[in-house]
Amino acid sequence: MSDWRAILDQNAFDFSRSGSTDARLNRLIEQRRHLVGPTAMLFYDEPLQLVKGEGVWLYDSAGKRYLDAYNNVPVLGHCHPRVMDAVTAQMSQLNIHTRYLDDALHRYAQQLLSTLPLKQGRLVMTCTGSEANDLALRLARLHTGQQGVIVSAAAYHGNTQAVTDVSPSSLKRGQVPAYVACIDLEPLNTEGIDASAYLDQQVEAAIAQLQRDGYGCAAFLVDSIFSSDGVYADPPGMLKAAAARVQRAGGLLIADEVQPGFGRTGSNLWGFDRHQLSPDIVTFGKPMGNGYPVAALAADETLLAELAEVSGYFNTFGGSSVAVAAAQAVLDTLDEEALQANALSTGNRLKQGLQGLAEHYEPLSHVRGAGLFIGVDIVSSEDPTRPDSVLCSRIVNGLRQRGVLIGAAGRYGNVLKIRPPLCFNHDHAQHLLDALEQVMAQDLIRR
Amino acid sequence: MSDWRAILDQNAFDFSRSGSTDARLNRLIEQRRHLVGPTAMLFYDEPLQLVKGEGVWLYDSAGKRYLDAYNNVPVLGHCHPRVMDAVTAQMSQLNIHTRYLDDALHRYAQQLLSTLPLKQGRLVMTCTGSEANDLALRLARLHTGQQGVIVSAAAYHGNTQAVTDVSPSSLKRGQVPAYVACIDLEPLNTEGIDASAYLDQQVEAAIAQLQRDGYGCAAFLVDSIFSSDGVYADPPGMLKAAAARVQRAGGLLIADEVQPGFGRTGSNLWGFDRHQLSPDIVTFGKPMGNGYPVAALAADETLLAELAEVSGYFNTFGGSSVAVAAAQAVLDTLDEEALQANALSTGNRLKQGLQGLAEHYEPLSHVRGAGLFIGVDIVSSEDPTRPDSVLCSRIVNGLRQRGVLIGAAGRYGNVLKIRPPLCFNHDHAQHLLDALEQVMAQDLIRR
């Protein structure tokens, strides 16, 4: 298709246009352009200046309230008191790196590792998910002696050089490197498709391509909710055969849990568990500290020992005292507030509601997702086989004007991305559904 | 030399030995080994469990006090109230990423950029210095179309794949990639050497090597205090000719200010300014948020526009509301507490004291440094031309037993690395000197 675009530009403000009738906002946009520069992206046709967050709500500088159905970093909700208290308390005691002994780190590592299917699992704290995925690739390449990596066609795994190379969604021009093989997710929309067999065939072809081109297969790096591809969740277990094939071929399975992890998919704490996978490496990021920067990688002792033989690895901010305190508060609160169960219940309610709307509004096509990560394909009213990124953008911006924040995703930028904090409840879901119905009824053709 | 070792292992606890006579500490060490694994390094022959920090002081679990002359992340001192207050206040209001407008980010960017010699400077917030250097390499390679990078022989620039490749100090086995050319700093110890001419010749040879091997010269990536090489600071201006040569050859000058920046060298806010350099890219890290994870890259609009043409760039935690609040508090407090001036004054006092000790104790050889970043070469008592990493380790551990924390650095692991928070005053300096004299007098041969 010709309308391929960088996922990161989806829902982006266009700096070449004036942003607002509001002079103050325009001044802020100009400052932004002159201070932060060309790589800095703003959301929405009329960018937002936010000043306050609480639970699922965000407030702009004019006092207007927005329902946050986009941000997954504040997984417990904005400004959650448990995390604030933990960070404040630890910050007043000590904030130091991991080259001193810290039993809080041990406690956290033990708790997190106990949820993973690794035999001799070890937890390496990093600061960002990008760093965790970057390290995962190093471990996989060192262990296998191969270079090739399999990812989904619109994958995003982070911002370093190494992970940008395996993030086709970051590309605005050109192609992924030859050592990257991509698998296309869209055919999973085909009615009656055997998803497991399809993915297995795709991975088989990817391995063959990488072997033929001399790169071999180091890893299958997978975000099992396929966030930037436009959310492909079902059926559970669909990745099992494909993942096993990679592992049989000597490649490692890297489960990137930055998006699906920490209960978001509702049925499981981890995305890989929903598909009954046995990853060799698991990476964690965004929601891990509810906004405090913390991330991690888990792998078996043997993989880490291979790295330690050839290279030092140290992460200054990774696993510092305050980062661990924040991460522990997140794990504890997820449990105490039963947020995984809420993600399942609210997610099901929301998906039902969206499916109901899709029956009435032609441009709302496939509704996919698990728990509180839902994607809705937007297609042309004239031709329902054509992805419509322009209309998708109009819906996203229409919702923003009505006080509901969501995003856009997918290879063609035509998927509504709904991914709220996990404290999103049934009333919030109804609020979103009502706003979406207003947008559709006002702006668009009723079926 | 045969005793080359990874800098990151310097001053490392050896897990193959029992750590302590203290059973509780040994249990913690065992937990560490089984939860965090082989890449996790601990400091000192008897690792420390720290529980509290305040200013320049750290406290272990037994209540013993340590003078911190090692940690540069808490640049204002441990648990500085200004940063704690700023983080707490912002955390209770909003903590969100940079795809919304934020005038606090603009204010900070403007203030930081005003200190840099960039024409159309823009500030890209990242989460870690590793990410900033990784991005700097991408910008340089994209702009120049070349791959080669010049670094110092024991450089350390971070932990991602791309920056590990240009960090010879992280190597435990093997060699740096062929597109990396290294310049050796040790000859700067030679009496009467023309440092500027020497560095210029080294860089000339490095450029020639990279061009001959077909990589070309994309960048000279330089930590201008040469932290991991063992601290080479003088004379100011010594890098000017070398840097200009790189820029004339079409390569970019990347000033890695993670170590020398934010006033540490005393005479200047930035290390590159001390050498009168005009960097194309400046990267910031560790001390920027006094422990709150925040880092950045500054470059001209044109360089960033080139990246934005081909790739998206977004950093989830970089420049989030709380990160900016922490960074602003650091800039403000550096100024209000005149910490750069203190670094100069205390650093000079400390260097004098160390030079005095070096006159009495043969193993204390060259004393180098600027402001509060000082290195002292440790050489064999029998043969003063021979670096003595074993003795260096004994001194570092002797100081630790006497309640003073420093580190080790240098290509041969034989340099005392003294790099305290910038609130380190003359009394603290005297405390360190007294402890060092005790270690030398008790353990070693008096000249």
User: Which residues of chain A have a CB within 8 Å of the CB of B28?
Assistant: 101, 103, 106
Distances in Å between the Cα of A2 and the Cα atoms of A411, A412, A414 are 11, 9, 13
> Which whole-number Å values give the CA distances from A310 to A302, B1, B8, in the listed order?
13, 19, 12
Q: CB of A10 within 8 Å of any CB in chain B? A: no
Q: How much of chain B, in percent, has pLDDT values that exceed 70? A: 96
* Cα distances (Å, whole numbers) of residue A353 to A346, A376, B49: 10, 12, 53
- Pick A162's closest partner by Cβ from B36, B161, B313: B161
Q: Does residue A30 sit at the B interface (CB-CB below 8 Å)?
A: no
For an interface test with A, the pick among B57, B112, B130 (most A C-beta atoms closer than 10 Å) comes out as: B130
Give, for A398, the enclosing helix (H) or strand (E): helix A389-401
Q: Which residue carries 């993030």 as its tokens?
A: A167
Q: Is B62 on the interface with A (CB under 8 A)?
A: no
What is the three-class DSSP state of A51?
strand
Per-position DSSP letters for A221-271, written without gaps between them: EE-TT-TTTT----STTTTHHHHHHHHHTTPEEEEE-TTTTTTTTSS-SSH
**Cα(B65)–Cα(B428) distance, rounded to whole angstroms?**
13
pLDDT at B410 over 90: yes
Q: What is the CA radius of gyration of chain B?
A: 21
Q: Using 50, 70 and 90 to split pLDDT, how confident is the model at B21? A: confident
Pairwise CB contact (< 8 Å): A101 & B170:
no
For chain B, what is the domain count? 2
Strands B65-68 and B404-405, how do they pair? Answer: parallel
Residue pair A134/A256 in contact by the 8 Å Cβ criterion: no
- Same domain assignment for residues A28 and A42: yes
Is the same domain home to A85 and A144? yes
Average pLDDT, chain B: 95
Give Cα A119 distance to the centre of its chain: 27
Q: Do B58 and A99 touch (CB under 8 A)?
A: no
**Do A52 and A178 lie in a common domain?**
no
DSSP state of A167: -
Measured in whole angstroms, the distance separating CA B6 from the mean position of its chain's CA atoms is 15
Task: Residue B413: name the closest of B7, B19, B126 by CA.
Answer: B7
The answer to whether A122 contacts B41, with C-beta atoms less than 8 Å apart, is no
Contact B315 A128 (CB under 8 A): yes
Q: How far is B408 from chain A (nearest CA, A)?
A: 14
Nearest to A128 among B123, B131, B172 (CB): B131
DSSP assignment letter at A99: T
Residue B220 is assigned to a structural domain of this protein: yes
Q: Are residues A90 and A67 part of one domain? A: no
Q: How far apart are CA A183 and CA A232, in angstroms?
A: 13
Among A312, A336, A360, identify where a domain stops: A336
Lowest mean pLDDT among A86-90, A245-249, B170-174, B258-262: B170-174
Are residues B155 and B204 both part of a single domain? yes
Contact B308 A49 (CB under 8 A): no
Determine the residue among A11, A28, A160 to mutate to test chain B binding: the one whose Cβ has the most chain B Cβ atoms within 10 Å. Answer: A160
Smallest CA–CA distance, residue B423 to chain A, in Å, is 17
The parent domain of residue A260 ranges over 81-336
3-state class (DSSP) for residue A23:
helix
Same domain, B209 and B307: yes
pLDDT score, position B16: 80
Instruction: Quickly state the pLDDT bin for B19 (edges 50, 70, 90).
Output: low
pLDDT tens-digit map of A241-294: 999 999 999 999 999 999 999 999 999 999 999 999 999 999 999 999 999 999
Does residue A222 lie in a domain region? Answer: yes
Residue of A426, A324, A422, A405 lying closest to A74 (CA atoms): A422
pLDDT at B10: 76
| CA A270 from centroid of its chain's CA atoms | 13
Q: Answer with the one of B270, B305, B336 that is the final residue of a domain.
A: B336
Please report the pLDDT score of residue B6 as a whole number: 47
User: Is B221 within 8 Å of B150 (Cβ atoms)?
Assistant: yes
Q: Are residues A182 and A196 in the same domain?
A: yes
Neighbours of A349 (CB within 10 A): 15
Do B301 and A40 lie within an 8 Å CB cutoff?
A: no
Give the whole-angstrom CA distance, residue A135 versus residue B38: 14
Picking from B35, B91, B129, the nearest residue to A87 by CB comes out as B91
> Which of A135, A286, A293 is the closest to B293 by Cβ?
A293
Give the Cα separation of B5 and B384 in Å (integer): 20
Q: Does any CB of chain A come closer than 8 Å to the CB of residue B145?
A: no
The label of the residue with tokens 């932290």 reads B227
Contacts of A314 in chain B (CB under 8 A): 8, 39, 41, 159
Q: Is residue B254 part of a domain?
A: yes
Find which of B157, B169, B311 to mutate to test the A interface (most A CBs within 10 Å of its CB): B311
Domain with residue A345: its CATH number is 3.90.1150.10
The residues near B336 (Cβ < 8 Å, ≥ 6 apart) are none
B68 to chain A, any CB pair closer than 8 A? The answer is no
- Which one, of A383, A19, A411, A7, lies nearest residue A232 by Cα? A411
* CA A122/CA A134 separation, integer angstroms: 17
B234 and B364 together in one domain: no
Question: A306 in a domain, yes or no?
Answer: yes
Supply A113's token pair: 């590792």
Q: B59: Cβ–Cβ under 8 A, 6 or more apart, which residues?
A: B50, B51, B52, B53, B65, B66
Across the interface, whether the CB atoms of A36 and B98 are under 8 A apart is answered yes
Q: Read off the pLDDT of residues B35-58 as tens digits, 9 standing for 90 and up.
A: 998 888 999 999 999 999 999 999
Q: What percent of chain A has pLDDT over 90?
A: 91
- The type of residue at B332 is D
For residue range B69-83, list pLDDT tens digits in order: 999 999 999 999 999
Other CB atoms within a 10 A radius of the CB of residue A447 amount to 12
Sheet containing strand A407-409, strands side by side: A364-370, A373-378, A415-418, A407-409
Asked whether residue A122 is assigned to any structural domain, the reply reads: yes
Between B37, B93, B164, which is nearest A124 by CB?
Answer: B37
Alpha-carbon distance values, A124 to A96, A132, A280, A303, A304 (Å): 16, 8, 14, 12, 9
Which H, E and C letters describe chain B, residue by residue? Answer: CCCCCCHHHCCECCCCCCCCCCHHHHHHHHHHHHHCCCCCCCECCCCCEEEEEEECEEEECCCCEEEECCCCCCCCCECCHHHHHHHHHHHHHCCCCCCCECHHHHHHHHHHHCCCCCCCEEEEEECCHHHHHHHHHHHHHHHHCCCEEEEECCCCCCCCHHHHCCCHHHECCCCCCCCEEEECCHHHHCCCCCHHHHHHHHHHHHHHHHHHCCCCEEEEEECCCCCCCCCCCCCCCCCHHHHHHHHHCCCEEEEECCCCCCCCCCCCCCHHHHCCCCCCEEEECHHHHECECCEEEEEEHHHHHHHHHHECCCCCCCCCHHHHHHHHHHHHHHHHCCHHHHHHHHHHHHHHHHHHHHHHCCCEEEEEEECCEEEEEEECCCCCCCECHHHHHHHHHHHHHCCEECEEECCCCCEEEECCCCCCCHHHHHHHHHHHHHHHHHHCCCC
* Chain A residues touching B159 at Cβ < 8 A: 131, 135, 313-315
- Of A297, A312, A336, which residue constitutes the final position of a domain? A336
**Are A103 and B49 a contacting pair at CB < 8 A?**
yes
Q: Give residues 72 to 91 of A whose Cβ lies within 8 Å of B.
A: 73-74, 78-79, 84, 87-88, 91
Are B103 and A73 an interchain contact pair (Cβ–Cβ within 8 Å)? Answer: no
Structural contact between residues A149 and B71, judged by C-beta atoms closer than 8 angstroms:
no
Q: Indicate if the pLDDT at residue B1 is higher than 50.
A: no
Q: What does the pLDDT average to over B418-447?
A: 90
B1 belongs to a structural domain: no
Position B20 scores a pLDDT of: 67
Is A235 inside a domain boundary? yes
CB contact under 8 A, A105 and B36: yes
Residues of chain A with pLDDT under 50: 1-8, 445-447
Instruction: With beta carbons less than 8 A apart as the criterion, state whether A281 and A110 touch.
Output: no
Instruction: Report pLDDT for A378.
Output: 97
pLDDT tens string A198-232? 999 999 999 999 999 999 999 999 999 999 999 99
Nearest to B312 among A127, A131, A170 (CB): A170
B88 and B162 belong to one structural domain: yes
What does the pLDDT read at residue B37? 86
Partner residue opposite B91 with nearest CB, options A41, A84, A315? A84
Burial status of residue A67 (CB atoms within 10 A of its CB: 0-12, 13-18, 19 or more): buried
| Residue of chain B minimizing CA distance to A121 | B35
Say how far residue A135 (Cα) sits from the centre of its chain.
18
Residue with tokens 């062929």: B178
What is the reported pLDDT for A37?
A: 86
User: Taking CB atoms and an 8 Å limit, are B124 and A286 in contact across chains?
Assistant: no
CATH of the domain at B201: 3.40.640.10
Please list every residue in chain A whose beta carbon sits closer than 8 Å to the beta carbon of residue B313.
8, 39, 159, 170
To the nearest 10 degrees (0 to 180), the angle between helices A389-401 and A426-443 is: 120
CB neighbourhood size of A443 (10 A): 13
B91 and B155 housed in the same domain: yes
Residue closest to A233 by CA, chosen among A415, A425, A23, A429? A415
Of B8, B113, B293, the CB nearest to A127: B293
Residue with tokens 């010879």: B168
Q: Kindly state the tokens that stand for B340.
A: 């750069």
Burial of A270: CB neighbours in 10 Å, binned 0-12, 13-18, 19+? buried
Q: What is the DSSP letter of A287?
A: G
Contact A106 B31 (CB under 8 A): yes
Whether the Cβ atoms of residue A155 and residue A228 lie closer than 8 Å to each other: yes
Residue B29's alpha-carbon distances to A122, B24, B45, B407, in angstroms, are 14, 9, 12, 20
Whether residue A427 sits in one domain with residue A365:
yes
Question: Could you say which residues from 312 to 371 on chain B have a Cβ atom under 8 Å away from some Cβ of chain A?
Answer: 312-317, 320, 322-323
Q: Give ipTM to 2 decimals.
A: 0.97
Residue A1 lies in a domain: no
Residues A204 and A255 in one domain: yes
Binning pLDDT at 50, 70 and 90, where does residue B238 land? very high
d(CA B444, CA B395): 9
Instruction: Identify any residues that bridge with A57 across adjacent strands, giving them in sequence order.
Output: A54, A67
